[in-house]
Amino acid sequence: MGRSSPKGRVVILALGSRGDVEPCVALAGTLRREGHDVVIHALDDFRDLVGRAGIDFASMRASLPREGRVSRPVGWAMTHAHRSPLVAVGGVRLWLRGIATEVARSVTRLVRPTDTVISGILTLDTALALRAALGCRLAVALFAPCLPTREGPSLVEAVRPFRTSVLNRAGGTLTWSAGVWWSRPGGAVARRELGLPRHRAERSLLVPPDVPVLLAASALLVPEATDWGPGVRLTGPWQVPAPSGREVPDGLAAFLDEGPAPVFASFGSVGLASDVPLCVDAAATAGVRLITSVPRGSGTAPGRVGDTVYVVDDAPHAWLLPRTAGVVHHGAAGTTTTALGSGVPSTAVPHQFDQHYYARRLALLGVGPTPVPRRRLDSARLAEMMTAMTRGPEAGEYRRRALLTAGEAAGERGTEEAVRVMRTAGLL
């Protein structure tokens, strides 16, 4: 089928956690300012996040997995994902298979032949089906360097992370294959809905060469690989602007004003209910004030916990992190980038997937103490990290490096570069 002229909407398929959706909100804002009609298609959990930005939202009619609201196998995988890559990969696959019908049907009913579709890896097979059936234009958005390459510093699951090796390309192909495998249940439903053959016509695991790949990552964290291919563009991160203080809970603002800058410790969407007492105990040992967040399934209510702890529900990181003494996070792409731009020391407790890569890259920049994998974390180790960032022998150097790196990060214009690439490729 021939391609449509670029007159339709931009439909962004943002299946995933907040770290997958918030960058898409940033890109959508830039597209809107340039006069494009944009729709973000995401899980129900992010209706308010997208709506507050003034972007049209379309529901995938499914939600993130949460403790107590998923099948026993998925719940077990959520709790133990940090212990084994196979558990993490299998758990994601089980969850995606469970929501495949709702997501794929909502996508196929939303997209029109004249639209430009931007898809992440979790909806890649569905997006390829839409392209084959409707002739819509397509770009792929990635937030971590998971494309096969020989260059270890530019690859999430590198066999030799600090060297160039054919083993890295082999490992990268395996990693990419896992991502494509995640997308297959939805792709199968989409092909049935669109009247396509059950099996894909495309046998290659890679993105078709005429489909641009937008790698929305900071060049400070991800070195550009020489063998990615001409269709891959490292745009810089896609970040929403920091909100004004008026959008921050009064209690949080008061907590920040009444004492020394606190440490922020949170493990985002991979966090568990047990993480709140873990962070509170560590902060007490380290002798620092603490801000932490409510993880999924936690019975902890947002607000003060004693005199030195504040628990937040949905704090804007771009506003909050520069006001802290240091940041301990899970190493996800978006949080790592925001922490890097905050100008305060930061380190990671990687749980799974690309978080180990970003934790390693963050440590190489010298902005915080050595990361500790989640499987090795306890209250004592977390307290040591907090102490090292705030008053340890290296604390001054961490802060100096953090301020220097934040200045460099301020020059990146990721969403503007992404729009330029899309326009050059004829997608807008």
Q: What is the pLDDT of residues 190-234, one digit of tens each?
A: 999 999 987 664 555 678 889 999 999 999 999 999 999 899 999
pTM: predicted TM-score of the whole model, two decimal places: 0.90
The reply to whether 175 and 253 lie within a common domain is: no
pLDDT, residue 94, reads 82
Averaged confidence pLDDT in the chain: 88
Contacts 24+ apart (CB under 8 A), 18-21: 18/45, 18/46, 18/49, 18/268, 18/269, 18/334, 19/143, 19/268, 19/269, 19/332, 19/333, 19/334, 19/335, 20/120, 20/122, 20/143, 21/46, 21/49, 21/50
pLDDT, residue 95, reads 83
Q: What percent of the chain has pLDDT over 90?
A: 69
pLDDT above 50: residue 294: yes
Range from 3-7, 178-182, 243-247, 414-418 carrying the lowest mean pLDDT: 3-7
pLDDT above 60: residue 149: yes
Structural domain contains residue 185: yes
Structural domain contains residue 132: yes
In the structure, what pLDDT confidence band is assigned to residue 79 with cuts at 50, 70 and 90?
Answer: low
pLDDT, residue 245, reads 61
CA atoms within 13 A on the CB side of 41: 26
Tell me how many domains the chain contains: 2
The domain spanning residue 61 has which CATH number?
3.40.50.2000
Q: Tokens 């291919």 label which residue?
A: 229
Range from 200-204, 273-277, 406-410, 423-427 carrying the lowest mean pLDDT: 200-204
pLDDT, tens digit, for every residue of 88-104?
A: 666 777 888 889 999 99
The reply to whether 342 and 250 lie within a common domain is: yes
The reply to whether 205 and 250 lie within a common domain is: no
pLDDT, residue 135, reads 96
Which residue did the predictor score with more confidence, 385 or 4?
A: 385
In the structure, what pLDDT confidence band is assigned to residue 77 with cuts at 50, 70 and 90?
Answer: very low
Q: Which residues contact 89 (CB under 8 A, 6 or more apart)?
A: 178, 182
Containing structural domain, residue 56: 10-237+412-424
pLDDT, residue 2, reads 39
Structural domain contains residue 1: no
Which residue did the predictor score with more confidence, 8 or 83?
A: 8
Which has the closest alpha carbon to 73: 89, 88, 91? Answer: 91
The reply to whether 21 and 66 lie within a common domain is: yes
Structural domain contains residue 27: yes
Which residue did the predictor score with more confidence, 401 or 275?
A: 401
Q: What percent of the chain has pLDDT over 70?
A: 87
